[in-house]
Amino acid sequence: MTDNKTTHFGYETVAETEKQKKVGAVFHSVAQSYDVMNDVMSAGMHRLWKRFAVDISGVKPGDKVLDIAGGSGDLSRLFSQRTGETGKVILTDINASMLAVGRDRMIDAGLNVPATQCNAEKLPFPDNTFDCVIVAFGLRNMTHKDLALREMQRVLKVGGRLLVLEFSKVWQPLEKIYDAYSFKLLPLMGKLIAKDEASYRYLAESIRMHPDQATLKQMMQDAGFERVDYYNLTAGVVALHKGVKC
């Protein structure tokens, strides 16, 4: 019955069961050059966006944080500085290659951050566990975003916050320049730096298919979050959504 269900993979329409494999293949391919590409693509701004997300989180020493689709572990590292020795950060990713990069970095940095491979739509954690859940540049790739958001709500404690950092709808006057950058320059950079043009074409397409700021806000409210608000960063290239479990 469910085999007939379809979803989007960039601009392609694929069977729901196929999307996870295709996204997996993209990230297996780019895992080693992921951070270099992020720096080149965003001119280093992704670090600023992530730091802002941590600033907005309200996480304090002793808190428990879940980093979903954490990949190379940038955010886990920043959060573990906030939670201190009394708190805990758990790094998760569905993709083994990306998680291996993050896990190795945490070990190299001497941080006690457990790495868990799991699907955000079926989180292997009990209800009311975390003070903060963050998903940065990961929700876009999930097949059932509504399911994933409900799972995140489930594992949060009452008063806990969900932060979603994701590409979004850019300020209208900049749309043409942004389109030219995304569909011409981005695949070219992917080809030259990561030797993978197709993955970066998927990145541009998946950004366009992702819900805009207001839609994602509504989706978070539908998943049971309250006081949902968002911040447009770099003219809306990226938006940081924050919701509270009440």
Residues engaged in binding another protein (CB under 8 A): 48-49, 51-52, 55-60, 159, 161, 213, 217, 227, 229-234, 242, 244
Shortest distance in whole angstroms from residue 213 CB to another protein: 7
Shortest distance in whole angstroms from residue 137 CB to another protein: 17
Shortest distance in whole angstroms from residue 229 CB to another protein: 3
Helix (H, G, I), strand (E, B) or coil at 65: strand
Based on CB atoms, which residue is closest to another protein, 30 or 239?
239
- CA–CA gap between residue 201 and residue 97 (Å, rounded): 20
Shortest distance in whole angstroms from residue 61 CB to another protein: 9
Q: What's the one-letter identity of residue 124? A: P
Burial track 227-241 (b if 16+ CB lie within 10 A, e otherwise): ebebbebeebbbbbb
Shortest distance in whole angstroms from residue 182 CB to another protein: 20
Nearest to 129 by CA among 94, 154, 162, 150: 154
Q: How far apart are the first and last CA of the chain?
A: 36
Based on CB atoms, which residue is closest to another protein, 105 or 161?
161
Based on CB atoms, which residue is closest to another protein, 24 or 58?
58
Shortest distance in whole angstroms from residue 187 CB to another protein: 27
CB half-sphere exposure, 19, CA atoms < 13 A: 20
Nearest to 146 by CA among 92, 219, 218, 215: 219
- CA–CA gap between residue 175 and residue 179 (Å, rounded): 6
- CA–CA gap between residue 100 and residue 194 (Å, rounded): 18
Radius of gyration of the chain (CA): 17
Token digits of residue 201 = 């074409």
Length of the chain: 246
Based on CB atoms, which residue is closest to another protein, 60 or 195?
60
Based on CB atoms, which residue is closest to another protein, 53 or 120?
53
Helix (H, G, I), strand (E, B) or coil at 92: strand
Based on CB atoms, which residue is closest to another protein, 13 or 218?
218
